[in-house]
Amino acid sequence: MKRKSDMAKRMSVGLAVFCAVLLTGCGAPGEKDEEQKIEQETEQEAGQTEQQSHVDNAEADAEGENLVSVIESDESRETDGVEEETDGNEEAVAKPEPKARPEGFELVLESEDWGLGFGEPETQPRGNASAEDLAWYHAYYLGDDSEKVLYLTFDCGYENGNTEPILDALKKHNAPATFFVVGHFLETEPELVKRMVEEGHAVGNHTYHHLDMASISDMESFGNEVNDVAQLFQEITGKELSPYYRPPQGKCNVRNLEMAEKLGYYTIFWSLAYVDWNQDNQPSHEEAFDKLTTRVHPGAVVLLHNTSNTNGEILDELLTKWEGMGYSFKPLSELVSKE
């Protein structure tokens, strides 16, 4: 296992990346731009894709800094089927075991960049692959279309004062959420992470350095990125990280799904999002409500960013509007348990 000196080195490297990003004028530490893909409409149908650019570690590597820490593999994370202990709203959920897929079955992803195509209001969108095919790899982007249930998720790259009002709104509505964290957020905001756990939310894995994981094909490198998050989370909270993995930038391929599954994770994409990540161009309240209320649908996995000033300001009202439309909020444990 890692020594404390290794952890100190990793944290100093994370701080160096943070400072470098600030000097270059980028938004989130450890990211060149932001986490989410830019929304675009296609000619064939009103579609939405979330485009995110990824962290570039070339300079640090050239200076001899190893930004991907190597830790001993934790066999207990692999397919043991043990239920996790969780508090509050987030129910215990078993880690997935790799499935025996049908003979001749081959998952085809239309793109390594997760994208969506929308139809009529309050109808489920189409993803890069069908929900049924993705489920063979314990991967999900939406739930049952017969229930007006929403699964709230937040990607957490860094903190700029909006996470607390988001948590306040969730608490007011008794709405469980999943927060997907990167290494920098864990290093700099341990108290917020503890609050997430104490208030019954799940904390999932967004990788340590927010890399383009679709470019990683070997298990050791992939495992380092997710295992480092899990280890630091356990050191902070004394608890095991929830078994949910969200690919940075939505970049993913079949090999990634296989590796995440083997490491004991459910891969979680999304079916509802909007361009909320750009701090220099935050959507107005009207724009946010328009996208998030006209495109909401039964079984939606909602992706929001904790860095958004708009989200911090509107979430209480947004949850109220969704409730008025007949929606309720459930933890991801209910989504993944419906196999």
| Domains of the chain listed by start with CATH number | 4-71+84-336 (3.20.20.370)
pLDDT, residue 59, reads 34
Angle between helices 190-198 and 219-237 (to 10 degrees): 80
Tokens standing for 196? Answer: 């997430």
- Pick the closest to residue 227 from 6, 36, 16 (CA basis): 6
Summarised one tens digit per residue, pLDDT across range 161-207 is 999 999 999 999 999 999 999 999 999 999 999 999 999 999 999 99
pLDDT, residue 91, reads 57
Half-sphere exposure of 214 (CA within 13 A, CB side): 16
| Rounded average pLDDT over 286-313 | 97
pLDDT, residue 48, reads 36
| Rounded average pLDDT over 73-81 | 35
Residue 321 makes CB contacts below 8 A (sequence gap 6+) with: 289, 293
Q: pLDDT class for 235, splitting at 50, 70, 90?
A: very high
Count Cβ atoms below 10 Å from residue 111 Cβ, excluding itself: 14
pTM score, whole prediction = 0.77
Tell me phi and psi for residue 203, to 5 degrees: -120, 120
DSSP-H helix ranges across the chain? 4-24, 58-62, 131-135, 163-172, 183-188, 190-198, 219-237, 254-262, 285-294, 309-324, 332-336
pLDDT, residue 94, reads 87
Q: Give the chain's mean pLDDT.
A: 81
Tell me phi and psi for residue 117, to 5 degrees: -125, 125
Q: pLDDT class for 257, splitting at 50, 70, 90?
A: very high
Tell me phi and psi for residue 235, to 5 degrees: -65, -35
pLDDT, residue 338, reads 79
DSSP state for residue 19 in the 8-state scheme: H
- Pick the closest to residue 206 from 268, 128, 127 (CA basis): 268
| Rounded average pLDDT over 92-100 | 88
- Confirm if 37 and 113 have CB atoms less than 8 A apart: yes
DSSP-H helix ranges across 70-182? 131-135, 163-172
User: Which sequence positions are flagged as catalytic?
Assistant: 155, 305
